[in-house]
Amino acid sequence: MITVKQLAGGYGKKPIIHDLQFEIQKGEFFALLGPNGSGKTTLFKLITGQLPIVSGSIAIDGKPMEKMSKLEKARKVAVLSQESKVTFDFTVEEIVSLGRYPHQTGFIKSISAKDRKVIDHVMNVTRIEQFRNSQFRTLSGGEKQRVLLAKALAQEPEILLLDEPTNHLDIKHTFQILNMLKEWQRTKQLTIFAILHDLNVASLYADRVALLHKGSFLEVGDVNTLRKEEQLRKVYEVDVKTQAHPIVARPQLLMTPSVESVVDSTSFFKSYSVDCNEDSVGIIFNKPLRTFSNATIGNGIQWLQQFFLINLPAAEHRPDHMKEWMEMRGIPVGLALGIGCPGNLANTLLVERQVDGVDIALLLMFGNTVHVLLFIDAPLDDRTVFDFYMAATEAKMAAYQKADIRLGMNRFDCVSIATNQDAEGQVSISREQIGKLVESVLTDALQQKFRKPYIVQKRAVF
């Protein structure tokens, strides 16, 4: 659809764009990415004909762009740039109607029934119908952007060239517009070339991306290009972490600010307090820990600060009951973990150990089920957290076998791994060490429990 070969160009004698070569297929959403100053707008202006080409060529459907008449290009290509301005005081409907000009025939241009149908449709899909008779100058920046996009769509183009199409739009309207563009791409085989700043939005909507760096492409590929953290750090000069989107098979990026954190000299074992009563046992930290858990409340990967074992009947272990219980006691659900524990909370044990110089707190609750909560004073990556989670689970099974306890099928045991990501130094403990720690502590506790009544001194050792 669009073929670019050995393209070079810019504003002066020295080209800003150097020897670019790529092709955009029909019906493809192609996103151009790169930091400010990388040459994105220059490339956009070369493709739209706003800047002269120094060398190379741009062809649309095999025809060199310079050999296409203005009317021919207008029927095939629509453009929405950041610099779109309306100098006359038109109404919204009048501006959108201008998009039909390339399709009107005759000496005196007039709006046909088909034109009217198209105009009404694009105003509907861009959600600007309520501004139909409003003066363009009275609209907000986001509303103006949607009007100008409607004008571009009214051209019924085969190719849509967009320079920051979601500029000035809030999250709601950004997704509405992009969802609509994807629908047009699918149903009308619309080809989209868009400059985007938001890498996460580009990952969600683009079919392919091009990473522009100092006037040249660093890479052109599918959205998995955005999984390459080192490459993104080089281009954007920020610390970038990638992760999988939980719903769609696309990467998402997290940016880390380069702000020096204040070193907390408090011992890890003194960084939390214990809240123990007949209804619950809780450990409350002075800052959030990165947590991986299958708990009823606070499950998955979360940043949590409060961890509660709650004495509720099994029938009330549903998330809504747990949340209600926590909210009534002023516990911030978004920062808290909640596990339902029917029965005697006296069967709870808190152990503090140091393994290879790393402080570890281990909270156990055992009865008909066994809950294991590990708090580790070390920064762990996702793989290590999952390894430790598996080690704790395996250690539980081993401890039950040693205590000669048979496990029932209808069990709701919880395991939680919480880590202090601000801790200094490298991780020195292994999966095997975590497993041995959990197994030994749990084995001793189970053997004591079944030899004689297990009595816990609250607020002491638990």
When comparing pLDDT for 271 and 266, which is higher?
271
Question: Per-residue confidence at 117, pLDDT binned at 50, 70, 90?
Answer: very high
* Residue 38 tokens, joined: 């990388």
Give SS3 for 91.
Answer: strand
One-letter identity of residue 343: G
- Give the confidence band of 394 by pLDDT, cuts at 50, 70, 90: very high
For the question of whether the overall pTM of this predicted structure is more than 0.75, the answer is yes
Query: What SS3 class is residue 311?
Result: coil
Buried b / exposed e across 302-320, counting CB within 10 Å, b at 16+?
A: bebbbbbbbbbeeeebeee
Band of residue 460 on the pLDDT scale cut at 50, 70, 90: very low
Residue scoring higher pLDDT (256 or 454): 256
Q: Are residue 304 and residue 197 in the same domain, yes or no?
A: no
Single residue among 207, 226, 256 that ends a domain in this structure: 256
Q: How many CB atoms lie within 10 A of CB 367?
A: 16
- Output the pLDDT for position 289: 97
The pLDDT, as a whole number, for residue 72 is 86
Based on the domain organization, do 188 and 145 belong to the same domain? yes
What is the number of H-type helices and E-type strands within the chain?
11, 20
Calculate mean pLDDT across residues 47-70.
Answer: 89
User: For the domain that residue 45 is a member of, what is the CATH number?
Assistant: 3.40.50.300
Is residue 266 a part of any domain in this protein? no
> Residue 73: which domain range?
2-256
Going by their DSSP bridges, the two strands 358-366 and 280-293 should be labelled as unpaired
Mean pLDDT value across residues 191-200? 95
pLDDT of residue 66: 85
DSSP state of 236: H
What's the sign of the alpha-carbon dihedral 91, 178, 84, 143?
A: positive
Please classify residue 48 by burial: count the beta carbons closer than 10 Å to its beta carbon, then call 0-12 exposed, 13-18 middle and 19+ buried.
middle
Question: Given the DSSP bridges, would you call strands 159-163 and 191-195 parallel, antiparallel or unpaired?
Answer: parallel
- Which residue would you say has higher pLDDT here, 391 or 266? 391
The torsion angle over the Cα atoms of residues 64, 65, 70 and 71, rounded to 10 degrees, is: 60
Residue 41 tokens, joined: 């707008």
Structure tokens at 435: 């497993």
Answer whether residue 268 is part of any domain: no
Q: Quote the pLDDT of residue 453.
A: 37
If residue 393 lies in a helix (H) or strand (E), which one and from where to where? helix 382-402
Together in a domain, 96 and 139: yes
Predicted local confidence at residue 104, as pLDDT: 72
pLDDT at 86: 67
136 occurs within a structural domain: yes
167 HSE (CA, 13 A, CB side): 19
Q: How confident is the model at residue 459 (pLDDT cuts 50, 70, 90)?
A: very low
Residue 345 pLDDT more than 50? yes
Domain boundary among 225, 256, 287: 256
- Pair 137, 279 in one domain: no
Q: What pLDDT does residue 263 have?
A: 60
Helix (H, G, I), strand (E, B) or coil at 345: coil
Is the same domain home to 332 and 282?
yes
170 plus 278 within the same structural domain: no
Supply the pLDDT for residue 408.
59
Residue 461 lies in a domain: no
Q: Is pLDDT of 442 > 70? A: yes
Task: Indicate if the pLDDT at residue 367 is higher than 60.
Answer: yes
For residues 36 and 156, state if they share a domain.
yes
| Residue 446 binned pLDDT confidence (cut-offs 50, 70, 90) | confident
| Beta carbons within 10 angstroms of residue 179's beta carbon | 12
Task: Please compute the mean of the pLDDT values over residues 366-374 and round it to a whole number.
Answer: 83
Q: Which two tokens stand for residue 215?
A: 């006037």
Shared-domain flag, residues 308 and 406: yes
193 shares a domain with 314: no
Q: At 447, which CATH number?
A: 3.60.70.12
**Residue 427 belongs to some domain of the structure:** yes
Give the residue-averaged pLDDT of 378-396: 93
The dihedral built from the CA positions of residue 324, 325, 328 and 329, taken in this order, carries a sign that is negative
Residues 284 and 248 grouped into a single domain = no
Count of domains forming the chain: 2
Average pLDDT along the chain? 87
- Does residue 347 sit in the same domain as residue 412? yes
pLDDT for position 454:
35
217 part of a folded domain:
yes
The answer on pLDDT for 127 being more than 60 is: yes
Residue 459 lies in a domain: no
pLDDT above 50 (res 279): yes
Per-residue pLDDT tens for 204-262?
Answer: 999 999 999 999 999 999 999 999 999 999 999 999 999 999 899 999 999 888 765 55
Q: Is the pLDDT of residue 133 over 80?
A: yes
In the chain, % of residues over pLDDT 70: 90
In this model, does residue 428 exceed pLDDT 90?
no
Asked if residue 388 and residue 354 are part of one domain, the reply reads yes
> Of 210, 228, 256, at which residue does a domain stop?
256
Average pLDDT of span 116-141: 92
Does the structure show a pLDDT above 70 at 96? yes
pLDDT mean over 281-294: 95
HEC string for the chain = CEEEEEEEECCCCCCCEEEEEEEECCCCEEEEECCCCCCHHHHHHHHCCCCCEEEEEEEECCEEHHHCCHHHHHHHEEEECCCCCCCCCCEHHHHHHHHHHHHCCCCCCCCCHHHHHHHHHHHHHCCCHHHCCCEHHHCCHHHHHHHHHHHHHHCCCCEEEEECCCCCCCHHHHHHHHHHHHHHHHHHCCEEEEECCCHHHHHHHCCEEEEEECCEEEEEEEHHHHHCHHHHHHHHCCEEEEEECCCCCCEEEEEECCCCCCCCCCCHHHCEEEEECCCEEEEEEEEEEEEEECCCECCEEEEEEEEEEECCCHHHCCHHHHHHHHHHCCCCHHHEEEEECCCCCCCEEEEEEEECCEEEEEEEEECCCEEEEEEECCCCCHHHHHHHHHHHHHHHHHHHHHCCCCCCCCCCCCEEEEECCCCCCCCCCCHHHHHHHHHHHHHHHHHHHHHCCCCCCCCCCC
Residue percentage of the chain with pLDDT more than 90: 57
So what's the pLDDT on residue 1?
A: 86
The answer to the question of residue 40 being in a domain is yes
